[in-house]
RNA sequence: CGGGGCGUAGCGCAGCCCGGUAGCGCGCCUGCUUUGGGAGCAGGAUGCCGGAGGUUCGAAUCCUCUCGCCCCGACCA
């Protein structure tokens, strides 16, 4: 393909609205343009990348026996009403009415539609299992679209659905998808992890996400390099390190400290105007891990206390699983319920229900005295307060793995795929049932599996770039090779460029030739920006010595190769990958 | 939805505080010279200063409202 005939509007400077690296580079290198918040136009280069990614996905889906179909993006409301999601989902669903006044919505996902199809067509166990997938546009009225193509309001998704007669079948379909996803991401050249995730509103018990580590990611994952435990922080368990004793730690007096018995005594100490853990901690010269952070929350059955250690953050989702839905108490509610201002509340001498993090089970602590201007030291669990013990903190760096005890690492990541075991959440309300050998009616057991091709592209850029631009993994680059003839007026250069171009194309490679009448500097800069893995540079200097240069975009290393050997050499490099 | 920031030429920005005929760099057009990492010289074009209303003799600048975009948080089936 000729550069001069392709629309590649590169930008010398990054548009002000872009922040994420992938966003900046996609704009600068002429891959995308923004129509409105969360809505992007994919220009020729980006669309080629998307097509390559989708091709890889299709090949791997087909390989596990999934069948491609296509469902509408516009849905009637009544199916969504049957599963309850019409009302469960809020503003994130685009809703509209057709001319007849019927409620409709733009599909955010297709569980309802595919289950409707299964309910109409599947009768017998003989028809199971089935795996159906599609590449379809999804619409979600995101509260905050961000980071370019990473979080948009309209996006293409490969979504597949499995239908099995029982849980064993589901487990097999689920595993097939997990395996296929591994192959897809490997082929796309991404670094990634499979982590446990929260099924959330999707329903079902088991779910995993595929995560591409990147600082631009919105998710945080917990990884244990020792036992392999990996989970999204939205549910990851961890064990906080032991209480830290420093100079001032004598005040909380952990067991084992020489002077702990005397100074660890239960006693109120004045802490005027110090409310937060940070304030009291520096005032008393005691490590934050010596404190109990006491939070007043209002649950369905009234107010209760949540206790985490001073160096921890409360994990609201974990707590909600134990305590049901709750909300934080307002300032005046704290006064009303406890008779003291927030900042001075503690778990001892309080009759409220208490849910405490495991880390507070051992040690001696400082907490609010339930008395304005005072904190209490020497608080011992089970002696000075009783609580229900759970893991209700957010896992953080320095914590130990809940499975094996090794130190965990915490990493930001882009969610590039997810898989859910749905069970009967959709088949029951939509009556997708089959008859077994005995003629009994059973609900179909379902799974749901998604991949966002645009996120794969963005993650690939986030993981592969340098100061000059994108460095595409070979498999998903818009082209395999870019030919850069430095002087389009020169006959010899043009002829050799044309010959190499046709030979490479003849080998089935996708080739971009920068045939523009531009200065060398501009061609080099654009080539690096666009990020095609190999550049063949043809200039007078080299030809005088009988060579052209073959440069790898990633390393910037140039090999001097005879024009007649270039095609062979490129093929060698390709076969390695 | 809460907090913050920004809308001035195609892109990046200055001007706004302190009102007085809108500027810089890059890009674009023409010509000549150049041609291995975003060329040089000369000439040229380009603005509803996001929109509406108000204050004023006069508004990019001050006030009110509104729309859009970005960032942090909440949310994210």
Q: Which CATH number goes with the domain that contains A555?
A: 3.40.50.800
Predicted pLDDT at A300: 85
* pLDDT (tens digit per residue) in A473-482: 999 999 999 9
* Closest nucleotide relative to residue A34's CA, C1' based: B69
Q: What is the mean pLDDT of chain A?
A: 92
Average of pLDDT values for A439-449? 97
Residues A253 and A369 in one domain: yes
Predicted pLDDT at A256: 42
pLDDT at A258 over 50: no
Task: Judge whether A186 lies within some domain.
Answer: yes
* Closest nucleotide relative to residue A143's CA, C1' based: B75
Rounded Cα gap, residues A166 and A446, in angstroms:
9
Q: Is the CB of A388 under 7 A from strand B?
A: no
Tokens coding A509: 């490679």
User: Which positions 113-172 on chain A have a beta carbon less than 7 angstroms from any atom of strand B?
Assistant: 140, 142-147, 151
* Closest nucleotide relative to residue A545's CA, C1' based: B36
Residues A253 and A379 in one domain: yes
- ipTM score of the complex? 0.94
Query: Residue A96: helix, strand or coil by DSSP?
Result: strand
pLDDT at A81 over 80: yes
Residues A77 and A208 in one domain: yes
Task: Judge whether A336 lies within some domain.
Answer: yes
Residues A143 and A262 in one domain: no
Task: Judge whether A251 lies within some domain.
Answer: yes
Predicted pLDDT at A154: 97
Q: Is the CB of A520 under 7 A from strand B?
A: yes
CA of A7 to C1' of B77 (A): 38
Query: Residue A251: helix, strand or coil by DSSP?
Result: helix
Q: Is the CB of A48 under 7 A from strand B?
A: no
Task: Judge whether A18 lies within some domain.
Answer: no
pLDDT at A248 over 60: no
Task: Judge whether A16 lies within some domain.
Answer: no
Predicted pLDDT at A205: 78
CA of A14 to C1' of B40 (A): 26
Q: Is the CB of A549 under 7 A from strand B?
A: yes
Task: Judge whether A166 lies within some domain.
Answer: yes
Domain count, chain A: 3
Residues A421 and A502 in one domain: no
HEC-encoded secondary structure of A89-136: CCCCCCEEECCCCCEEEECCCCHHHHHHHHHHHCCEHHHCCEEEEEEE
The DSSP output letter for A71 is -
Average of pLDDT values for A30-57? 96
Average of pLDDT values for A26-43? 95
CA of A171 to C1' of B2 (A): 43
Predicted pLDDT at A328: 84
Predicted pLDDT at A257: 45
Cross-strand partners of A42: A32
Q: Is the CB of A467 under 7 A from strand B?
A: no
**CATH number for the domain that contains residue A120:** 3.30.930.10
Residues A192 and A251 in one domain: no
Q: Which residues span the domain enclosing A261?
A: 247-390
Rounded Cα gap, residues A201 and A103, in angstroms:
22
Residues A307 and A430 in one domain: no
Task: Judge whether A12 lies within some domain.
Answer: no
Residues A52 and A199 in one domain: yes
**Of A206, A171, A173, A164, residue with least CA distance to A443:** A164
With vertex at residue A543, the alpha carbon angle to CA A542 and CA A544, rounded to the nearest 5 degrees, is 90
Predicted pLDDT at A349: 83
Q: Which nucleotides of B are covered by protein (CB under 7 A)?
A: 1-2, 6, 11-13, 25-27, 34-39, 68-77
Average of pLDDT values for A92-119? 96
**Of A362, A365, A386, residue with least CA distance to A280:** A365
Residues A131 and A92 in one domain: yes
Q: Is the CB of A446 under 7 A from strand B?
A: no
* pLDDT (tens digit per residue) in A505-535: 999 999 999 999 899 999 999 999 999 999 9
Predicted pLDDT at A238: 96
* pLDDT (tens digit per residue) in A262-316: 457 888 999 998 888 888 888 888 888 999 999 999 888 889 999 999 999 999 9
**Which residue has tokens 């990634």?**
A192
**CATH number for the domain that contains residue A368:** 3.90.960.10
Instruction: Report residue A324's pLDDT band, with 50, 70 and 90 as the boundaries.
Output: confident
Predicted pLDDT at A409: 95
Task: Judge whether A7 lies within some domain.
Answer: no
């Amino acid at each position: 393909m000729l550069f001069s005939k392709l629309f590649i509007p590169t930008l010398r400077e990054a548009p002000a609205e872009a922040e994420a690296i992938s966003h900046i580079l996609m704009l600068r290198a002429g891959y995308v343009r923004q129509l409105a918040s969360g809505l992007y136009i994919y220009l020729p280069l980006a669309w080629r990348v998307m097509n390559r990614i989708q091709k890889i996905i299709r090949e791997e889906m087909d390989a596990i026996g999934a069948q491609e179909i296509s469902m509408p993006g516009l849905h009637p409301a009544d199916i969504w009403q049957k599963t309850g999601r019409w009302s469960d989902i809020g503003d994130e669903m685009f809703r509209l009415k057709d001319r007849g006044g019927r409620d409709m919505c733009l599909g955010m996902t297709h569980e309802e539609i595919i289950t409707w199809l299964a309910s109409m067509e599947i009768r017998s166990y003989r028809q199971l299992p089935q795996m159906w997938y599609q590449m379809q546009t999804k619409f979600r009225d995101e509260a905050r679209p961000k980071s370019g193509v990473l979080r948009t309001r309209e996006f293409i998704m490969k979504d597949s659905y499995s239908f099995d007669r029982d849980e064993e079948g589901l487990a097999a379909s689920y595993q097939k998808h997990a395996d296929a996803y591994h192959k897809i991401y490997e082929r796309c050249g991404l670094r990634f992890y499979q982590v446990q995730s929260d099924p959330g509103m999707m329903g079902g018990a088991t779910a995993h996400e595929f995560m591409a580590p990147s600082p631009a990611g919105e998710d945080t994952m917990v990884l244990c390099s020792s036992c392999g435990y990996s989970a999204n922080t939205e549910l990851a368990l961890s064990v906080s390190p032991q209480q830290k004793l420093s100079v001032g730690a004598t005040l909380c007096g952990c067991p084992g400290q020489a002077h702990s018995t005397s100074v660890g005594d239960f006693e109120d100490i004045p802490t005027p105007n110090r409310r937060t853990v940070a304030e009291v901690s520096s005032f008393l010269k005691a490590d934050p891990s010596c404190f109990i952070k006491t939070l007043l929350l209002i649950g369905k059955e009234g107010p209760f206390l949540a206790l985490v250690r001073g160096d921890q953050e409360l994990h609201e989702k974990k707590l909600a699983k134990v305590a049901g839905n709750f909300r934080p108490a307002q300032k005046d509610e704290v006064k009303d319920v406890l008779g003291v201002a927030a900042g001075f509340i503690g778990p001892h001498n309080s009759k409220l229900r208490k849910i405490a993090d495991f880390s507070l089970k051992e040690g001696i602590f400082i907490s609010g005295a339930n008395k304005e201007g005072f904190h209490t030291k020497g608080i011992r669990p089970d002696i000075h307060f009783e609580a229900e013990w759970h893991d209700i903190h957010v896992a953080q760096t320095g914590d130990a793995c809940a499975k094996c005890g090794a130190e965990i690492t915490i990493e930001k990541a882009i969610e590039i795929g997810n898989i859910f075991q749905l069970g009967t959440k959709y088949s029951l309300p939509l009556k997708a049932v089959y008859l077994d050998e005995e003629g009994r009616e059973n609900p179909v057991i379902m799974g749901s599996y998604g991949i966002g091709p645009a996120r794969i592209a963005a993650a690939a850029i986030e993981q592969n770039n340098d100061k000059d631009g994108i460095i595409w993994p070979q498999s998903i680059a818009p082209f395999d090779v870019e030919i850069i003839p430095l002087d389009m007026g020169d006959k010899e250069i043009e002829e050799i460029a044309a010959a190499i171009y046709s030979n490479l194309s003849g080998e089935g490679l996708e080739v971009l030739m920068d045939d523009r009448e531009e200065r060398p500097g501009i061609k080099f800069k654009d080539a690096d920006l666009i990020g095609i893995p190999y550049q063949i540079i043809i200039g007078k200097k080299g030809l005088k010595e009988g060579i052209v240069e073959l440069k790898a975009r990633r390393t910037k290393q140039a090999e001097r190769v005879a024009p007649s050997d270039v095609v062979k050499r490129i093929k060698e490099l390709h076969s390695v990958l």
